[in-house]
């Protein structure tokens, strides 16, 4: 995979370099999401797909990257260590450039909420970009946890980017028996067996599980096509409901507005386009 510069107004676009004879490009947008069962998968009109885009999209959001071409030679973004940190590191190594265009944001103008099977995500108006997230698992290793973050001044880099994906041992074994998650290991996920964490080094944060859920949420919501200005309240949320709330938002034109960041006095929260 290569992350390449792109002009202002381009957005984030994935390009399958291994595909011939059909359109290889897939804009990273909520309305191109076609599967959310194990990860977030996007596809174009020719059913050219790229899966597990959420950790990279979260890195783009956290590094304030609006325009990039992602060249990839297969159907899935590498899981790396299960977090966004490797992508953030590589973006920092390459450096970013400001572009001569105003940065656009999506301002939430009225509340939009989706409830599915005991899970909920609500978008509400707010002056900044704030996320409140709550999880509740039967496993004592995970349990109940909540966190509130404001996406400002490097919050993503310092508080979320290192948080790894997690799963239960019996689920990993079931997936691998079905030919899925074949690369899944303790090197790219936190693995829980009953009430035990199997990783020898333990957790990177005491509440790493809920932090990773926020990371996923940041990545999924960046498929809106621009950063959000508003509050996100999420309870037991995952990829499916994250995408559902964006579809509900954009189905109601009165619920949002596309604004220049300078127009809402958000210079500190949302720096110029990079």
Domains assigned to the chain: 2-264 (3.30.1700.10)
- Asked if 155 and 146 touch (Cβ cutoff 8 Å), the reply is no
CB neighbours (10 Å) of residue 30?
A: 21
Task: Indicate if 239 belongs to the active site.
Answer: yes
pLDDT surpassing 60 at residue 102: yes
Residue found under tokens 């829980």: 192
Residue 27's Cβ-side half-sphere holds a number of Cα atoms within 13 Å equal to: 12
Point out the catalytic residue in the list 10, 158, 239, 265.
Answer: 239
Six-digit token string for 12: 């984030």
How high is the pLDDT of residue 203?
97
CA angle 54–55–56, rounded 5-degree value:
95
Residue found under tokens 């596809």: 43
At 22-49, the pLDDT tens digits run: 999 999 999 999 999 889 999 999 999 9
Q: pLDDT band for position 271 (50/70/90)?
A: very low
- Asked if 120 and 136 touch (Cβ cutoff 8 Å), the reply is no
Rounded Cα gap, residues 209 and 226, in angstroms: 26
Residue in 204, 148, 195 with CA at minimum distance from that of residue 169: 195
Q: pLDDT band for position 180 (50/70/90)?
A: low
**Model-level pTM?**
0.92
At 128-174, the pLDDT tens digits run: 999 999 999 999 999 999 999 999 989 999 999 999 999 888 776 66
């Amino acid at each position: 995979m290569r992350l390449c510069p792109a002009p202002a107004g381009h957005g984030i676009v994935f390009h399958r370099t291994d595909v011939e004879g059909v359109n290889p490009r897939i804009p990273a947008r909520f309305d191109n999401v076609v599967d959310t069962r194990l990860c977030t998968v996007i596809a174009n009109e020719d059913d050219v797909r790229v899966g597990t885009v959420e950790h990279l999209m979260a890195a783009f959001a956290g590094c304030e990257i609006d325009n990039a071409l992602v060249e990839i030679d297969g159907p899935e973004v590498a899981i790396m260590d299960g977090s966004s940190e490797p992508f953030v590191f590589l973006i920092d190594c390459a450096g970013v450039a400001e572009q001569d265009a105003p940065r656009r944001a999506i301002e939430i103008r009225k509340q939009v909420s989706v409830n599915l099977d005991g899970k909920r995500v609500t978008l509400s108006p707010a002056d900044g970009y704030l996320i409140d997230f709550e999880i509740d698992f039967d496993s004592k290793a995970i349990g109940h946890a909540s966190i509130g973050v404001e996406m400002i001044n490097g919050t993503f880099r310092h508080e979320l980017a290192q948080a790894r994906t997690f799963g239960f041992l019996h689920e990993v074994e079931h997936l691998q028996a079905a030919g899925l998650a074949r690369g899944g290991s303790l090197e790219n996920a936190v693995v829980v067996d009953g009430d035990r964490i199997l990783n020898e080094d333990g957790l990177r944060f005491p509440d790493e599980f809920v932090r990773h859920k926020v990371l996923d949420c940041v990545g999924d919501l960046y498929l809106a096509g621009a950063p959000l200005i508003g509050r996100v309240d999420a309870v037991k949320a995952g990829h499916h409901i994250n995408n559902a709330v964006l579809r509900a938002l954009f189905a109601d034109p009165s619920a949002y507005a596309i604004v220049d960041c300078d127009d809402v006095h958000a210079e500190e929260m949302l720096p110029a386009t990079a």
